[in-house]
Structures are given as structure tokens and as C-alpha cells.
């Protein structure tokens, strides 16, 4: 199964994805895209996510090359993989200096790797297109790339869920 879980900030998407996997699989990998930084809030968020996962989770920190992360032996050996989150990944690629073509190629590589993965893969992403239009060119570029990324991954995933207030709404496929 390849599942895409979308939602806004604090919608419950990460918690839903983690709990769904925790209830079904013993050997799981969490691929984290958030980069540690000097920002205390980032450190707090990383620590919070780590505390919420038990010892049956292997954590792989990969801010840039998600397709390669899915090919690591420790990931291939797992029953299930959670990638959280695609939106931060797009930010990382932008801040790393990739142009739109290069980011679109990274997204295509990830979609191909997800499709080819032999285990359950759950991807988490923010739906960023429901708010106001960003007032800066970089903000609009980010919004557009994030929306395009969600569309590409939704093509290879089923089910696709949207979370609001912690409640899942099925956009594609059936509730797992």
C-alpha cells in the first residue's frame, strides 16, 4: 500500500499516519525531512516526534534525497516506511538552491521509488493551497511546487486522505 496523508498545519496528519502504522506493523522506518537547526522550536519539535515513537521505529534523517533513502538496506528491510513531511522536503530543496526543473526531477524520482517500494509507504504533506496567495515570489513558488508535488504523489498513492481536526476524509481509494 502507498498512502498519501494531506492536511493543514496541526490537522492531525502526522499523528494519524504514525498511529496507523504503529497499529499494523512491527518493523517501521520514519524518514524525517526536518533539518536540525539552531532554532529552539525546531529542536523541540524533533524531540517531541522522537518521544512519540517507540523503539520499533528506526529513524532516518534525510532532508534532500528521499528516493535514495527508500533504497537504503535498513529501509528496504522494514515492513513499512513513513516519510514526514514532503512539504519540508520541498523547502529543503528550495533552500539548497535547486531550480524548479531539478525539484520536479526529484519529485519524479521519489514517485518512482514509492511506486517500486516493496513495503507499505505512507507520505505526509501539508496542503498549502487553501490559504491566501503568498505575497512574495518565493512564497508563490513554494506553494506551486508543494501543490505540484502533492499531485504527483497522489498519482502513485492509494488511498489519499485529507485530515482536518484529526478526522480523515478519503479523497482517493478506500479508508485503510
Q: What are the catalytic residues?
A: 49
Look-up of cell digits 512574495 = 136
**Angle at 75 (CA atoms; ends 74, 81), nearest 5 degrees:** 145
* Angle formed by the axes of helices 40-52 and 13-22, nearest 10°: 30
Nearest to 4 by CA among 148, 162, 130, 116: 162
CB distance 173 to 17 below 8 Å: no
Amino acid at each position: 500500500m502507498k498512502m498519501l496523508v494531506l492536511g493543514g498545519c496541526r490537522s492531525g496528519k502526522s499523528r494519524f499516519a504514525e498511529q496507523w502504522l504503529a497499529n499494523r506493523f512491527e518493523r517501521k522506518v520514519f524518514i524525517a525531512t526536518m533539518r536540525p537547526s539552531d532554532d529552539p522550536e525546531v529542536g523541540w519539535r524533533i524531540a517531541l516526534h522522537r518521544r512519540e515513537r517507540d523503539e520499533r521505529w528506526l529513524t532516518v534523517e534525510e532532508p534532500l534525497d528521499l528516493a535514495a533513502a527508500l533504497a537504503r538496506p535498513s529501509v528496504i528491510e522494514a515492513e513499512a516506511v513513513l516519510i514526514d513531511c514532503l512539504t519540508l522536503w520541498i523547502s529543503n530543496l528550495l533552500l539548497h538552491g535547486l531550480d524548479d526543473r531539478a525539484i520536479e526531477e526529484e519529485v519524479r524520482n521519489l514517485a518512482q521509488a514509492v511506486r517500486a517500494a516493496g513495503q507499505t509507504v505512507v507520505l505526509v504533506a501539508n496542503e498549502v493551497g487553501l490559504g491566501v496567495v503568498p505575497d512574495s515570489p518565493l512564497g508563490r513558488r513554494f506553494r506551486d511546487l508543494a501543490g505540484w508535488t502533492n499531485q504527483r504523489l497522489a498519482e502513485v498513492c492509494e488511498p489519499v486522505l485529507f485530515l482536518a481536526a484529526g478526522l480523515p476524509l478519503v479523497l482517493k481509494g478506500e479508508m485503510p
